[in-house]
Each structure stands twice: as structure tokens, then as C-alpha cells.
Amino acid sequence: MLLFIGAALAICVVIVGAYVLEKYLRGTLNPQEPKHPKMRVGDEVGFTLATVKGVVTQLKDAHKEAQEKLLAAERRADEQARKFELLAREIDYGLMIFDARGFLAFSNPLVRKLLAVDTWARRRYGEIFQDFPALSQLIGECFEAGTETRERSVDFQGPDGRTSRVEVSVLLTRDSVGALEIVACMFRELPAPHA
């Protein structure tokens, strides 16, 4: 019986020894296998806080960079608008620009002189040209159907009762997806019609 117990013990020692040797060799021969260190609860909280702080810092940096790009883009847009306005004041045509909803976005001084209309208030084209149905119709067709008009003569009666003639071009621009962006109207004074 002692012999049997001794043999069983020897077999157990050999099995445990083989297991320990196999674990040791696996650890030294395969260093790529991840070893999971034991973390305490305090370590997990610290790790989570450090990760959150890192993400918040990255988000703040990205936000700051986006703000700087936005400010630079706004400065460029303001500069372009200023240059456009300077040029528009110097051209020999009256110019009115309506936004996509039909509201007056810009007009130069010459158009106020040619048409004798109030362009200072932000109004729609139908309100501005309510006394000039031919002009209102041309602009409306451009908004509704995309119909552009080039160099069409239009007669209208001014507030002083005198009949005037202007050459009108109504043009539109579209954005990158094809939606109407603006409608530009250019006016040039023509000689008065003979009675």
C-alpha cells in the first residue's frame, strides 16, 4: 500500500512539475502574449480619469483650432464683401442682388438713381418693384423657373411722371448642390423713347 501511495505521489509531483515547467517556458518563449497586471479599484479610477482628461484636452485643442479657422474665414469673407462693394459702387450699371428667398441683399447707388426706388430697407423684390410689374415679372421668372434675361429693354414711369427706359439683365447663381443662391439684376439707362 505504501508503494501504491508513493507511486501516486510521484505521478502527482511529475504532473505538477510538468505544468509549472510548461507555464514557465510559455512565458519566456512567447513574450508577445499579453500579461494582465492586476489593477486595484483606485488604479482603474485613476486610469479612467487620465483617459477622460486626455480626451477633453484633445477636444479643447480641436475646438480652439476650429474657432481660429472660423475667424480667419469670417475675416476673408468680410474682406471679399468690402472689395465687392467698392467695385460695385464704381461700375456703370445699376446693380441689385437678391438672396435665395427674394430679399434685397445689396444695391449700389446708381440703381437708386436710375429706378428711383427705395432700396435701403430689407424687402422682397415684389415689394420693391410693385409699381414696375414688368421688372417684378422678370425677376420672379428667374426665381421660379430659373429663366435668365439678358439686355431686355423695359419702359417704366418714374415718380416724376416721366417715362424712362432701362436695359435689364437678370442672372442667377447656384451653389455646389444646384440650389439657387442669388439673383443679380443689372440695369443700364437707355435713351428715352420718342413720343
**Structure letter (DSSP) for residue 167:** E
CB-based burial of residue 158 (10 Å sphere; 0-12 exposed, 13-18 middle, 19+ buried)? Answer: middle
Indicate the length of the chain as a whole number: 195
60-69, 80-89, 131-140, 170-179: which has the minimum mean pLDDT?
Answer: 80-89
More confident residue, 69 or 38: 69
For residue 77, count other CB atoms closer than 10 A to its CB: 10
More confident residue, 41 or 171: 171
Tens digits of residue pLDDT in 2-20:
667 777 778 878 888 877 7
| Pairing label, strands 163-174, 104-107 | unpaired
Find all residues with CB under 8 Å of 112, minimum gap 6, and list them.
94, 118, 119
pLDDT for residue 41 is more than 90? no
Rounded alpha-carbon distances, angstroms, from residue 22 to 8, 10, 63:
21, 18, 53
pTM, two decimals, is 0.57
Mean pLDDT across 117-127: 82
pLDDT for residue 34 is more than 70? no
Give all domains of the chain, ordered by start, each with its CATH number. Answer: 93-190 (3.30.450.20)
What percentage of the chain exceeds 90 in pLDDT?
A: 16
Find all residues with CB under 8 Å of 92, minimum gap 6, and list them.
110, 188
Tens digits of residue pLDDT in 132-157:
888 889 999 999 988 898 988 888 77
pLDDT at 133: 86
What percentage of the chain exceeds 70 in pLDDT?
A: 85
Phi, psi torsion values for 146, nearest 5 degrees = 75, 20
